Amino acid sequence: MAGRPTNSEWFFKNILDSLKDGVITLDERRKIVAFNPAMESIAGVSAGQVMQRDFDAALPELAFFGEKIDQVYRTGEAFFDSNACLRMRDGREVSVSLVVSPVTDDEGGSRGVVIAVRDISYVEDLQRADRYAEVVNAFRFISSSIAHEIKNPMGGIKGAAQLLLEELTDSQLKEYARVIVSEVNRVSGLLENLSDLCQPAELRLEKVNIHQVLDDVIMLETNRAREKGVSVLMDYDPSIPEIPADPQKLMQLFINIVRNGVEAMPEGGTLSFSTKVSDQFKVTRSAEHQTASRMLMVAVEDTGMGIAPEDLDRAFTPYFTTKEGGSGLGLAVSMNIVEQHGGRIKLESRPGEGTVVKVFLPLGK
Ligand SMILES: Nc1ncnc2c1ncn2[C@@H]1O[C@H](COP(=O)(O)OP(=O)(O)OP(=O)(O)O)[C@@H](O)[C@H]1O
Ligand SMILES: [Mg+2]
């Protein structure tokens, strides 16, 4: 019967729909005849919007490689680009690798082209995380040596100032000695934080309900913010199982993130928490084998002032702060906690509109 797909057509459609790579197929006249779900999510448009339409008119954002497609039609030779950047109509830039291959019939005649697109932003994130880890390791080495060297003389200064405090009778001079003691205490506190960053305490793993952790953080941290006009929204995925994690560390992680969100909205706004099972995996390699465990994602989104693009990477650097009185350690500590759990943390921001912090944590076995 005309129009009704045959078994083999269903079979090929299922294959296309199951592929994680985006696929677009064009007929001999550049009309789009297949557009799979992975391509829908890469391009941010539905198949219904583009099917049966001319490629250049339906997807003008991809028109820049129209010339390459012409070349494939003309020469019958495939074209490959391992690192192209596509700017989608919703403003997203997606790093992709793509292959444009000719489709030929049994007689070798041209029947169109097929374009396979792989989103490699995830690979870039991993490379960025590797570069970051190198910088952090160097930083840890230098700062732990410095912290170690400063702690001892600080103890000496404090001891001497305490002796002065006991010996002195002049109240003005006593005050100076008191200032020395309290400032030394402050420096010691900073050194403690620094030591913690350099050699984080061991995790105490238990089965943790991530939603319970988030609820506790929300209860502890958002009461005052609500009074200032911050509303809190939650959108939890109830199918997320308990994960192996250190609940105290996760509390510390989300408290840091929530405080930043609240601090970014002095005039009020919305703080939204959402959880879902992510399509990212934690890959563990050992000499014998490689395992991949699925991750959950917690997104904490604010409608605050946002972060300038040039500050996005620096935000995790210890002591980077744009706040008066900020220590700049919140996100550095958060990054450490996430990495100790084998997860990843990512910041996305639009200046003037808001920021979303995405935390990925392995779901375990
Ligand atoms: N949600 C956010 N919105 C806007 N800017 C943010 C947000 N989160 C982090 N930042 C930026 O990243 C910087 C570093 O954040 P981090 O939490 O490490 O330190 P801090 O908040 O400045 O100080 P601390 O957390 O130690 O009190 C902040 O100063 C701010 O510029
Ligand atoms: Mg902070």
CA distance 1 to 5: 9
Cα 274 to averaged position of ligand 2 atoms, centre (Å): 20
Cα 312 to averaged position of ligand 1 atoms, centre (Å): 10
68 three-class SS: helix
Ligand 1 atom, smallest distance to 305 CA = 4
* Percent with pLDDT over 90 in the chain: 49
Residue 165 near residue 181 (C-beta atoms within 8 A): yes
In angstroms, the Cα distances linking 288 to 126, 281, 294 are 22, 19, 20
| 294: its two tokens | 């699925």
Looking at per-residue confidence, does 113 or 121 come out higher?
113
Q: Does 289 have pLDDT greater than 60?
A: no
Which pLDDT score is estimated for 266? Answer: 94
Give the pLDDT mean for 270-299. Answer: 78
Residues near ligand 1 (Cβ within 6 A)? 256, 260-261, 264, 302, 304-307, 311, 315, 320-323, 326-332, 355
- Report which bound ligand comes closest to the CA of 329: 1
Which pLDDT score is estimated for 327? Answer: 82
The pTM assigned to this predicted structure is: 0.61
Least confident of 70-74, 143-147, 360-364: 143-147
Pocket test for ligand 1, best of 321, 329, 353, 358 (most atoms within 8 A of CB): 321
Fill in the DSSP letter of residue 308. -
Alpha carbon nearest to ligand 1 atom 17, residue: 330
Instruction: For residue range 238-271, list pLDDT tens digits in order.
Output: 999 999 999 999 999 999 999 999 999 999 999 9
Q: Which of 53-62, 148-157, 290-299, 347-356 has the highest mean pLDDT?
A: 347-356
Cα 333 to averaged position of ligand 2 atoms, centre (Å): 10
| 323: its two tokens | 């706040």
Which pLDDT score is estimated for 365? Answer: 62
- Report which bound ligand comes closest to the CA of 262: 1
| Alpha carbon 18 to chain centroid, angstroms | 25
Residue 247 near residue 207 (C-beta atoms within 8 A): no
Q: Output the average pLDDT for the chain.
A: 87
Cα 318 to averaged position of ligand 2 atoms, centre (Å): 11
Cα 15 to averaged position of ligand 2 atoms, centre (Å): 46
Instruction: For residue range 168-209, list pLDDT tens digits in order.
Output: 999 999 999 999 999 998 888 778 777 777 777 788 999 999
Alpha carbon nearest to ligand 1 atom 9, residue: 260
Give the pLDDT mean for 157-166. Answer: 93
Give the pLDDT mean for 297-313. Answer: 94
pLDDT range class, residue 1, cuts 50, 70, 90: very low
Alpha carbon nearest to ligand 1 atom 20, residue: 328
pLDDT range class, residue 5, cuts 50, 70, 90: low
Other CB atoms within a 10 A radius of the CB of residue 253 amount to 30
Least confident of 26-30, 193-197, 339-343: 193-197
Q: Does 282 have pLDDT greater than 70?
A: no
Pocket test for ligand 1, best of 221, 260, 312, 333 (most atoms within 8 A of CB): 260
pLDDT range class, residue 3, cuts 50, 70, 90: low
In angstroms, the Cα distances linking 333 to 150, 272, 318 are 21, 22, 8
Alpha carbon nearest to ligand 1 atom 27, residue: 326
207 three-class SS: strand
Looking at per-residue confidence, does 68 or 133 come out higher?
68
Instruction: For residue range 323-336, list pLDDT tens digits in order.
Output: 988 888 889 889 98
Cα 101 to averaged position of ligand 2 atoms, centre (Å): 49
Q: Does 321 have pLDDT greater than 90?
A: yes
Angle between helices 171-198 and 330-340 (to 10 degrees): 30
CA distance 249 to 334: 9
Cα 133 to averaged position of ligand 2 atoms, centre (Å): 20
Q: Does 107 have pLDDT greater than 60?
A: yes
